[in-house]
Chains A and B, each alone.
Chain A
């Protein structure tokens, strides 16, 4: 198979000492980011992105994606030791992780979480290795209508999968699209929504939005909860690790099922958070002692962690092959590709093989590096968590401010970050999902361009989105997903009646 050869070339790229060093730095930074409130995968990567502008793209993406893996690992530490999910996708990990820690089995819970994360990611990387070239090859035939229908699918999936809050998802997404249209129109050169403000000419940068919405908003939320870190002491002895590893193979069905759920939710942009909840729910239903879930079952840690990591990793598949990110962090990485002058999408696999396969190889290595780092450095990370909030909160805000400034070396962006922060705080409390906003902001221009090109091709009739089996199929799938709650309800009634 050609993939294997390319993958080994990729290992050659990723295994250079410089890239290996970046990998470990990335994972370490990522875990710290994942552990700290206010910093997460998406805004952590956004803040560090400007620092990588001068690096070779392959090294830069290796480091940034390793930050992402680290953040995925890090979320579990706070969930288990402190009952505070460091990341939204580790909320489900607290259900059984924290009770385990209270019973004095924190080491077991942590080992189970890290190992499951690793397995979930590994399955997802295998999937990427073999599926991504196929998808990319397929997508090479895509024209503007096909691309628009893929974007449509992405956004419809978001709306259809948002439980009960579909309207708020729509609003959030449309605000993202709206913000994306501000500034110079690339097709006609007209100014849109600028109202004479020169600061608005260049539009809204999604990096600023991510740092504000996720970073500042998160700190305000954490503050409100009056955060006190009352955690269990953490120690990870090799004996506990080995004992847990002996126990884990018992849950292989759960692992496999959770990986599948995770991969699916990552590729169809549902994201890691719903994947972890769904996987926890499924594991609970199918497990022999499902009724004991929530009291400290190792299986209850395995399920959400495997799924979250599988989803987080597989979210990179559509990002690389189609230019459609499956998660906010993948969206930030996509923004990075654009800044480095790489056009994400199927051509990447043809023109930038070294980059693509270097990245894929680094996913294997980065997750191994991640597992080593988290298993050995737990006391260090737990110590970081004990830094009092009165010190860590202003420091995080300073880091966010620096990150926002460095994007365009503009002080106005720092003000804007604060505005986005307050907006993020209020919107989050009102259950407006923020991920669709960020994704729409990133994809807005591309979606609009492909739509306008399609319209030009068809002279203005929408039927072009059904003009052949491929584009028609994707569009239909998008519409089915959009109205999925209604369709599911109808199906249920039909079956019942």
Chain B
């Protein structure tokens, strides 16, 4: 991410993000148009072919994001505007990185163990709670969800080795 030399603690300007996002969506549009064209965007025996919609949607996306991109290039105000400050970005990452690990955990060690660890980690690290207050909350939430989904609603959620060990599968 670029710094706009103004010595505030900006992590990125709105313009930078505007350009990056427009470029990314442009790419999506281009992919859609390409694939639409590949499977046929013209007229077939069953009317407009399967690629008709993706092709034109892709084209509209490309056109609109191109205009947004060019406009953002010339937008001085947005170049100065802060999209996110460093401290804010740090906070967002503090939430995001554990969340990614949590989601990976859902698929491997099961949702209940993963949730307990995730909530506990959050309370200890960001909330600076003591172990004595953290453990009951984290365990309690998972137990409540277990009862709610597995027992009451009979909706099985992903489980891992611990549940298998306890015979709760």
Contacts and interface: CB of A to CB of B under 8 A. Distances in A.
A466 interface: no
Interface string B84-114: 1000100110011001101100110001000
Contacts of B61: 171, 174-175, 178
Contact of A429 (B64, B83, B115): B83
Given A391-B137, A415-B103, A425-B92, A397 B118 contact: yes
Contact of B46 (A188, A394, A397): A188
A460 to B, nearest CB: 6
A223 interface: yes
A245 to B, nearest CB: 39
Contacts of B17: 426, 429-430
Interface stretch (A270-278, A314-322, A359-367, A447-455): A447-455
Contacts of A220: 92, 95-96
Contacts of A390: 122-123, 126-129
A405 interface: yes
A293 interface: no
A241 interface: no
Nearest to A412: B107
Interface stretch (B1-9, B151-159, B161-169): B151-159
Interface residues on A, range: 35 or more
A190 interface: yes
Contacts of B99: 216, 397, 418
Interface in A399-417: 401-402, 405-406, 409, 411, 414-415, 417
B43 to A, nearest CB: 6
A405 B153 CA distance: 14
Nearest to B44: A188
Interface in A212-253: 216, 219-220, 223-224, 226
A106 to B, nearest CB: 28
Nearest to A454: B47
Contact of A398 (B91, B118, B129): B118
Contacts of A223: 91-92, 95
Contact of B149 (A402, A411, A425): A402
B67 interface: yes
A50 B155 contact: yes
B20 to A, nearest CB: 9
Interface string A165-179: 001101100110110
A401 B122 contact: no
A61 to B, nearest CB: 18
Given A177-B57, A181-B32, A414-B103, A395 B88 contact: no
Given A175-B61, A398-B119, A455-B47, A192 B157 contact: no
Contacts of A422: 96
A174 B48 CA distance: 18
A181 B29 CA distance: 12
Nearest to B126: A390
A65 to B, nearest CB: 20
A187 B68 contact: no
A411 to B, nearest CB: 4
Contacts of A395: 119, 141
B65 interface: yes
A177 B53 contact: yes
Contacts of A289: none
18 contacts: A51-B155, A178-B61, A192-B35, A220-B95, A224-B92, A391-B122, A393-B95, A394-B123, A406-B155, A411-B107, A414-B106, A414-B107, A426-B17, A429-B83, A430-B17, A452-B46, A452-B47, A455-B47
Given A178-B54, A224-B88, A393-B122, 15 more contacts: A167-B64, A175-B61, A178-B57, A188-B46, A190-B39, A192-B39, A193-B31, A223-B95, A390-B128, A394-B119, A409-B156, A415-B103, A418-B103, A430-B83, A452-B46
Q: Which 8 A/B pairs are nearest by Cβ-Cβ distance?
A: A390-B127, A456-B47, A185-B50, A394-B122, A411-B107, A190-B50, A394-B119, A224-B88
Interface of B: 14, 17-18, 21, 25, 28-29, 31-32, 35-36, 39, 43-44, 46-54, 57-58, 60-61, 64-65, 67-68, 83-84, 88, 91-92, 95-96, 99-100, 102-103, 106-107, 111, 115, 118-119, 122-123, 126-129, 137, 141, 145, 149, 153, 155-158
